Each structure stands twice: as structure tokens, then as C-alpha cells.
């Protein structure tokens, strides 16, 4: 029993130091997106995102994308995200996985699907607090999206 307790304490302390950093960073951003949330042509949308940096290389968070094809199809995509900064947060290049819901409304009917995707982009800082983040994403059921977010770290 003492060995199990000792191993549990070591594991807890190890995990704490892996995820600890000197200045935890949270960020929030908003921006436009063009995507394929439409039967034909493109849809215009807006994305809102929140991230919490676990380390200098990994972050978790949520995004919500709302889009409309201007012909009667509206889509809302809430998703959880896991982000990996390839060269660390200071360099900005990232890959991200998204998973969540896909709620499409057309002619008064709503279709609910599972959404999954990957995203790649670059976080470009402006000063200590602000950033611009162009990205490209692909996945199901939206096929692709191209956008940019502007935001603030706190």
C-alpha cells in the first residue's frame, strides 16, 4: 500500500510539472471564415474561439463557428480543440484537431451531425497581448474552411 501511495505521489508531481508554466496564457479571438457549409458554392461565417495553453507547445479550448450560405442554409459548429504548436507558442505554427457538433438548419428543419476536423495555421503576435491567426481547416461534414482570427491573450 505504501508503494502505491508513493508511486501515486510521484505520478501526480510529475504531471504537475509537465503542465506547469511560469505564465499561463489564455486567449480569445474572433474572425471571418469562408467554408463549404452549403450544398453549392460557399458559405460565409464567423468563428469565436477560446484557448488555454497547457504548456508552451500544447493548448486546449473551444470554438464556435456560425455560417450561412445566403440561400437558406445556416450552420452552427461548436467544437472542442486540442492544439500543438510545432516549434513552441513563440514561433506560432500550429496543428489542431477539432471535434464537436454540426447543426444545420434549412427550411425549418435541423440536421444534427458529429463534426471532426483538423486545422493548421500561424499565430502572429502584435505586441504582448494581441494576435492575428490565419488558418485552413478540413474535415467532415464541412469539407474545408479558410479564415483568420484576431484576438487577445490574457
Q: Which helix (H) or strand (E) holds 3?
A: helix 2-19
Instruction: Look at residue 24 in the predicted model and tell me its pLDDT.
Output: 57
CA angle 11, 14, 18 (to 5 degrees): 140
Greatest extent of the chain over all pairs of C-alpha atoms, in Å: 66
Query: Per-residue confidence of the chain (154 residues) as pLDDT tens digits?
Result: 444 445 444 544 444 444 444 565 899 999 999 999 988 889 999 999 999 999 989 999 999 999 999 898 999 999 999 999 998 887 889 999 999 999 999 998 999 999 999 999 999 999 889 999 999 999 999 899 999 999 999 8
- Burial classification of residue 117, based on how many CB atoms lie within 10 Å of its CB (0-12 exposed, 13-18 middle, 19 or more buried): buried
Domains of the chain: 27-153 (2.40.160.20)
Q: Please give the Cα distance from 88 to 7 (Å, whole number).
A: 31
DSSP class of 22 = S
Strands 26-35 and 143-153: antiparallel
What pTM was computed for the model?
0.82
Instruction: Look at residue 23 in the predicted model and tell me its pLDDT.
Output: 66
Instruction: Look at residue 91 in the predicted model and tell me its pLDDT.
Output: 85
User: Which pairs from 48-51 meet CB under 8 Å and 24+ separation?
Assistant: 49/81, 49/149, 49/151, 50/26, 51/26, 51/27, 51/81, 51/83
Amino acid at each position: 500500500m505504501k508503494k502505491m501511495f508513493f508511486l501515486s505521489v510521484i505520478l501526480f508531481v510529475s504531471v504537475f510539472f509537465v503542465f506547469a508554466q511560469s505564465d499561463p496564457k489564455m486567449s480569445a479571438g474572433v474572425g471571418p471564415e469562408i467554408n463549404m457549409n452549403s450544398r453549392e458554392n460557399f458559405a460565409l461565417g464567423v468563428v469565436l474561439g477560446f484557448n488555454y495553453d497547457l504548456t508552451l507547445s500544447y493548448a486546449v479550448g473551444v470554438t464556435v463557428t456560425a455560417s450561412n450560405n445566403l440561400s437558406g442554409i445556416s450552420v452552427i459548429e461548436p467544437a472542442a480543440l486540442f492544439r500543438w504548436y510545432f516549434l513552441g507558442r513563440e514561433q506560432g505554427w500550429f496543428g489542431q484537431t477539432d471535434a464537436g457538433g454540426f447543426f444545420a438548419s434549412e427550411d425549418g428543419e435541423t440536421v444534427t451531425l458529429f463534426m471532426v476536423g483538423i486545422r493548421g495555421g500561424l499565430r502572429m503576435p502584435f505586441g504582448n497581448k494581441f494576435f492575428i491567426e490565419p488558418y485552413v481547416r478540413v474535415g467532415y461534414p464541412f469539407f474545408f474552411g479558410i479564415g483568420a482570427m484576431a484576438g487577445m491573450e490574457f
